């Protein structure tokens, strides 16, 4: 498989460890990631809140770049996924809006034709690579690890632009369980991490994150596994802030799903990647070592 | 013998009640609901039956006493334009889309929030955190930019080459849509 690789803003700026694990997994599974030259920000929630037409045009520009490459887009972030997928859906369905957007895009020499599809990493693994192939690549399973999966909102919502909510969430659970770990049930699993309000209203964001962490802790998880870089940041760094703010400590390591899978495939995290986690993940690494 | 109520008077009474008498009721704008509905993503406001399922689904409503999506829809329907557009409530929404999936009317409350925020921005109501992201986007093509250190580390970690962005294309698009005028107001 070959994809137009949409990295977005947050991952190269703050979470290179996420990107690194994805690249390692991709080369193991024979997935080719082609850089999208000149691509811009996906235009997430904050930008959509300012202006509708600007959102669609910016997101569509990225879709056009992938169309010219003749490839489907692979994203690693729920927010990029939501923005690009929703724009792709709207522009494919609604000719009037498509014409308006194309009028803007003409100024930069592009035209949206509706020839690309948008996928997020977990969906691409599940739909294009296949669960069997992923299972066959597992060399050092995480047997007995109790994982609280955080799917994040825009992996599955809104329903009308995704294949069934239940199916998308279950696909991620199956992928996590392919690593040998157990995806446990916990309260408010489907709920938001609070991340979208980061920088806009930090206090509310923190309270929402706390609700999530309470549910995870009560269920007795060993760690949290995220697919979205915003969820990752909110739940990892958020724990430090919650400790300061509420004097409450959870000590819940947070792993990117790609890190979990990569380790299960027998590839160790490098020192800098282990250190990138604000909540130490040594507990998880030790569980693995003692096996 | 029945008494026919004056609709306008009823609206005034309800509006008076839900704002605790704080609002200027002479400014009730019956057209406001349609103004929102005519914005992109705003149509859901017409479908609202005030059932409250959005509020009971809302994570922020559990945290912030004043945040109540059903009530926000009500204030729009009643026409309390400046209360809605100058207030902070639309900016408390996470856009998690839970309400959108659960609305029995297919009313898209979470989508209507974008229409409301787009209108609020035009009234100058835009949180600083959004301005920072929007200006960064206009100037660099990204809402978050990698630090020099992050770029040095990319090489060290053996990641792919530095991602490129065509800032001029971004600026051209955003000038055409007048985005710059919305985010550089007053600065």
B108/B179 same-domain check? no
Please indicate, yes or no, whether residues B50 and B140 belong to a single structural domain of this protein. Answer: no
Co-location of B118 and B132 in the same domain: no
Which of B122, B155, B175 represents a domain boundary (last residue)?
B122
Please check whether residue A193 is in contact with residue A150, taking contact to mean a CB–CB distance below 8 angstroms.
yes
Number of domains composing chain B? 2
Instruction: Examine the domain organization and report whether B114 and B143 are in the same domain.
Output: no
Asked whether the beta carbons of A278 and A237 are under 8 A apart, the reply is yes
Interchain proximity A49–B114, CB inside 8 Å: yes
Asked whether residue B114 falls in the same domain as residue B162, the answer is: no
Nearest CA in chain B to A270: B157
| Minimal C-alpha gap between B72 and chain A (Å) | 17
Q: Which of B71, B89, B122 is the last residue of a domain?
A: B122
Please tell me the CATH code under which domain A2-121 is placed.
Answer: 1.20.1050.140
Q: How far is B142 from chain A (nearest CA, A)?
A: 5
Cross-sheet strand order for the sheet of A254-256:
A182-183, A146-150, A223-226, A254-256
Decide: helix, strand or coil at residue A5: strand
Same domain, yes or no: B26 and B70 = yes
Residue A35 has which token pair? 């850089």
Show residues of chain B in contact with A60, CB under 8 Å.
Answer: none
Q: In this complex, is the C-beta atom of B148 within 8 Å of any C-beta atom belonging to chain A?
A: no
Global pTM value: 0.94
Answer whether B135 touches A (CB < 8 Å). Answer: no
Residue of A nearest to B112 (CA): A49
Cβ within 8 Å, pair A200-B134:
no
Nearest by Cα to B133 from A66, A110, A18, A50? A50
Q: Name every chain B residue with its beta carbon within 8 A of the beta carbon of A107.
A: 172-173, 176
- State which residues form the domain around B166: 128-183
Chain A residues with beta carbon closer than 8 angstroms to that of B158: 20
* Positive/negative CA dihedral, A140, A143, A148, A152: positive
Q: How far apart are CA A151 and CA A161, in angstroms?
A: 16
pLDDT digits (tens, 9 = 90+) for A254-268: 999 999 999 999 999
Tokens 């992201």 appear where?
A: B133
Q: Which fold has domain A131-289?
A: Rossmann fold (3.40.50)
For residues A104-130, one letter each, b for 16 or more C-beta atoms within 10 angstroms of the residue's C-beta and e for the rest, the string is: bbeebebebeeebbbbbbbbbbbeebe
Q: Are the CB atoms for A3 and A73 separated by under 8 Å?
A: yes
**B170–A208 CB contact, under 8 Å:** no
Do residues B97 and B82 share a domain?
A: yes
pLDDT tier at A60, thresholds 50, 70, 90: very high
Least CB–CB distance from B63: residue in A40, A43, A208: A208
Q: Are residues B91 and B105 in the same domain?
A: yes
The band of A166, judged by pLDDT with boundaries at 50, 70 and 90, is low
Cβ <8 Å between A13 and B91? no
B10: distance to nearest CA of chain A, Å? 33
**Residues B161 and B82 reside in one and the same domain:** no
Residue pLDDT, tens place only, B135-161: 999 999 999 999 999 999 998 998 978
Report DSSP state, residue A125: I
Q: Do A157 and B130 touch (CB under 8 A)?
A: no
Whether B132 and B117 share a structural domain: no
pLDDT tens readout for residues B85-119: 999 999 999 999 999 989 999 888 999 999 999 99
- CB hemisphere CA count around A120 (13 angstroms): 30
Residues paired with A4 in a beta bridge:
A34, A73
Asked whether A288 and A267 are in contact (CB, 8 A), the reply is no
Residue of chain B minimizing CA distance to A231:
B96
Query: Residue B2: inside a domain, yes or no?
Result: no
Structure tokens at A285: 């690494």
Q: Could you tell me the residue ranges of all domains in chain A? A: 2-121, 131-289
Angle CA(B138)–CA(B144)–CA(B149) in degrees, nearest 5?
A: 125
Tens of pLDDT along A97-116? 999 999 999 999 999 999 99
Q: Both B12 and B30 in a single domain?
A: yes
Rg (CA), chain B: 21
How would you list the strands of the sheet with A2-6, edge to edge? Answer: A32-35, A2-6, A72-75, A118-120
B34 vs B23: CA distance, rounded Å: 21
Do A54 and A43 contact (CB within 8 A), yes or no? Answer: yes
Please give the structure tokens belonging to residue B126. 């835009």
Task: Annotate B17-57 with three-state secondary structure.
Answer: HHCCCCCCHHHCCCCHHHHHHCCCCCHHHHHCCCCCHHHHH
Q: What is the pLDDT of residue A139?
A: 97
pLDDT bin (cut points 50, 70, 90) of residue A141 is: very high
Average pLDDT, chain A: 94
**CA B28/CA B90 separation, integer angstroms:** 19
Q: Give the residue on A whose Cα is nearest the Cα of B39.
A: A52
Sort out which chain A residues have CB atoms less than 8 A from B101's CB and list them: 157-159, 165
Interface contact flag, A13 B146, Cβ < 8 Å: yes
- What CA–CA distance (Å, rounded) separates A22 from B159? 10
Packing angle of the helix pair A229-246, A78-93 (nearest 10 deg): 140
3-state class of A35 per DSSP? strand
Beta bridge partners of A72: A3
- Residues B45 and B118 placed together within one structural domain of the fold: yes
Residues in A closer than 8 angstroms to B60, CB to CB, are: 204, 208
Instruction: Compute the distance between CA of residue A54 and CA of residue B143 in angstroms, rounded to an integer.
Output: 14
Q: Which of B122, B156, B171 is the last residue of a domain?
A: B122
Q: Using the 8-state DSSP alphabet, how is residue A269 labeled?
A: P
Condensed to tens digits (0 to 9), the pLDDT of residues B70-90 reads 999 999 999 999 999 999 999
């Amino acid at each position: 498989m070959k994809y137009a690789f949409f990295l977005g803003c947050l991952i190269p700026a703050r979470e290179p460890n996420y990107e690194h694990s994805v690249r390692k997994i991709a080369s193991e599974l024979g997935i080719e990631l082609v850089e999208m030259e000149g691509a811009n920000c996906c235009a997430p929630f904050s930008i959509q809140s300012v202006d509708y037409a600007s959102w669609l045009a910016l997101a569509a520009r990225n879709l056009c770049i992938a169309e010219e490459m003749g490839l489907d887009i692979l994203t690693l972030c729920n927010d990029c996924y939501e923005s690009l997928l929703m724009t792709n859906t709207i522009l494919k369905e609604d000719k009037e809006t498509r014409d308006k957007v194309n009028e803007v895009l003409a100024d930069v020499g592009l035209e949206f034709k509706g020839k690309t599809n948008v996928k997020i990493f977990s969906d691409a693994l599940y739909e294009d690579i296949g669960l069997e192939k992923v299972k066959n690549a597992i060399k050092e399973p995480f047997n007995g690890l109790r994982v609280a999966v955080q799917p994040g909102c825009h992996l599955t919502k809104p329903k009308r632009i995704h294949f069934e909510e239940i199916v998308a969430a279950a696909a991620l659970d199956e992928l996590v369980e392919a690593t040998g770990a157990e995806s446990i049930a916990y309260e408010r699993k489907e709920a938001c991490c609070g991340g979208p309000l980061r920088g806009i209203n930090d206090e509310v964001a923190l309270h929402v994150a706390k609700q999530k962490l309470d549910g995870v802790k009560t269920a007795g998880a060993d760690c949290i596994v995220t697919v979205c870089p915003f969820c990752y940041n909110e739940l990892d760094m958020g724990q430090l802030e919650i400790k300061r703010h509420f004097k409450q400590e959870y000590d819940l390591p947070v792993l990117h799903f790609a890190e979990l899978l990569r380790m299960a495939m027998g590839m160790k995290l490098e020192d800098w990647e282990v250190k990138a986690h604000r909540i130490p993940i040594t507990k998880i690494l030790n569980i693995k070592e003692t096996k | 013998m029945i008494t026919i109520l004056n609709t306008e008077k009823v609206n005034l009474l309800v509006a008076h009640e839900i704002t605790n008498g704080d609002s200027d009721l002479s400014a009730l704008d019956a057209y406001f609901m349609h103004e929102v509905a005519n914005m992109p993503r705003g149509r859901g406001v017409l479908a609202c039956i005030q059932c409250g399922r959005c509020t009971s689904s809302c994570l922020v409503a559990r945290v912030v006493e004043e945040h109540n999506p059903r009530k926000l829809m009500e204030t729009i329907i009643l026409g309390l334009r400046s209360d809605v557009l100058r207030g902070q409530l639309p900016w408390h929404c996470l856009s998690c889309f839970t309400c959108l999936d659960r609305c029995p009317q297919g009313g898209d409350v979470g989508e209507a929030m974008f229409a409301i925020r787009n209108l609020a921005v035009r009234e100058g109501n835009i949180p600083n955190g959004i301005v920072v992201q929007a200006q960064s986007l206009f100037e660099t093509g990204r809402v978050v930019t990698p630090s020099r250190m992050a770029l040095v580390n990319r090489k060290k970690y053996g990641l792919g080459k530095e991602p490129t962005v065509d800032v001029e294309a971004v600026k051209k698009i955003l000038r055409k849509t007048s985005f710059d005028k919305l985010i550089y107001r007053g600065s």
